[in-house]
Amino acid sequence: MDERKVIYLLGDPVAHSLSPAFQNAALRALGLPWNYVARRVVREKLPAALRELRQSNAAGANITVPHKVAAIDSLDALDTEAAITGAVNTVTIDEGALIGHNTDVDGFLAALEEARPEGLARPAALVLGAGGAARAAVRGLVRERWVESLLVVSRSPEKGQRLIEIVGGGAEEAGPNPVRLEVLASADAIRSRRESVGLVVNATPVGMGRRAHETPLPDLGGFRSDTLIFDLVYGPEPTRLLRDASAAGLPTEDGLNMLLYQGARSLALWTGCKPPLEAMREALQRAVLRVERR
């Protein structure tokens, strides 16, 4: 496998992405003379950028904000997770055909499994947000029956309802250990039920960049002491949500491991190689320290 190939990251913006740093470190560690290149693509140019992939020396692509849903229209086939979540973060090329995958689902689950507090089994979960990252989290939690019930908090209840219909899609009726799904307009609505919650996932951008001083859950009272607070946002420092949670003695996890594990799964799809996780982790940790809070 010595042919020089390129893997593209297609999104807008892409300049601050951490993926080139850890994917190029992985390609070097594997001894592949390939390159991972971030390419800013505006919405109108996405179909053309994906068409070009077929004719180029590309091995595939990552798709990021805001194209994860729109990219589907330009692809030839989807894997199960991409079809169920309706979002694609990885594209592979098979004899000229573009195949869409969603490795955020397994990346989320791998990070969650690593952070699972001892003894935590099938708790209720609270997922904040109803966008792309929430779809991946909800799909993973429902697929693995990781939770007994799931409360999605969305400021747009219709969007939350759509999320649980699409991603939960019948799973609550089918098979053993069904997961009960519910949409709430505010986390305050379950104040009295917090004792059953063992996992909180922040899948909103609140706490990111310029909003670093904000938290999507200002009141952390009433949760059990082993409730894992998993913030999918990542950056050089813990978000305010994670700082508050640590101060309250709750276990925490930020979004870096999810980023690492989704990237490792994508790399395996493009190259067929076992991902060099330690080289990727080191490069990611170095790169995140260079990120300035935006």
**Is residue 266 involved in binding ligand NAP (CB under 6 A)?**
no
**Is residue 103 involved in binding ligand NAP (CB under 6 A)?**
no
Stretch that binds ligand NAP, among 73-81, 238-246, 253-261, 275-283 (CB under 6 A): 253-261
**Is residue 233 involved in binding ligand NAP (CB under 6 A)?**
yes
**Is residue 157 involved in binding ligand NAP (CB under 6 A)?**
no
Q: Where in 270-289 is the site for ligand NAP (CB under 6 A)?
A: none
State yes or no: is 68 an active-site residue: yes
Of 47, 117, 178, 205, the one binding ligand NAP by CB under 6 A = 205
Q: Are 270 and 92 in contact (CB under 8 A)?
A: yes
**Is residue 204 involved in binding ligand NAP (CB under 6 A)?**
yes
In angstroms, what is the minimal distance from the CB of 168 to ligand NAP? 16
Sequence-distant (6+) residues with CB within 8 A of 126 are 151, 153, 187, 190, 197, 199, 200, 201
In angstroms, what is the minimal distance from the CB of 136 to ligand NAP? 7
Q: Identify residue 53 by its one-letter amino acid code.
A: L
**Is residue 262 involved in binding ligand NAP (CB under 6 A)?**
yes
Sequence-distant (6+) residues with CB within 8 A of 45 are none
Cα dihedral 83/108/145/77 (nearest 10): 10
Instruction: Output the CA–CA distances (angstroms, integers) from residue 277 to 76, 218, 265, 272, 281, in the order listed.
Output: 30, 35, 10, 14, 6
Stretch that binds ligand NAP, among 3-11, 47-55, 179-187, 204-212 (CB under 6 A): 204-212
Backbone angles phi, psi at 234, to 5 degrees: -135, 155
Between CA 267 and CA 24 the distance in angstroms is 10
Q: Which two tokens stand for residue 82?
A: 């991409």
**Is residue 264 involved in binding ligand NAP (CB under 6 A)?**
no
Considering the candidates 5, 45, 68, 274, report the single residue annotated as catalytic: 68
**Is residue 252 involved in binding ligand NAP (CB under 6 A)?**
no
Q: Do the strands 6-11 and 77-78 form a parallel or antiparallel pair, or are they unpaired?
A: unpaired
**Is residue 255 involved in binding ligand NAP (CB under 6 A)?**
yes
- Rank residues 74 and 103 by Cβ distance to ligand NAP and give the closer one: 103
Burial class from Cβ neighbours inside 10 Å (0-12, 13-18, 19+) for residue 236 reads exposed
Of 50, 98, 232, 267, the one binding ligand NAP by CB under 6 A = 232
Name residue, tokens 């003379």: 33
* Residues making contact with ligand NAP (CB under 6 A): 65, 104, 107, 129-134, 154-156, 159, 203-206, 208, 216, 232-234, 255, 258-259, 262
Q: Which residues are catalytic?
A: 68
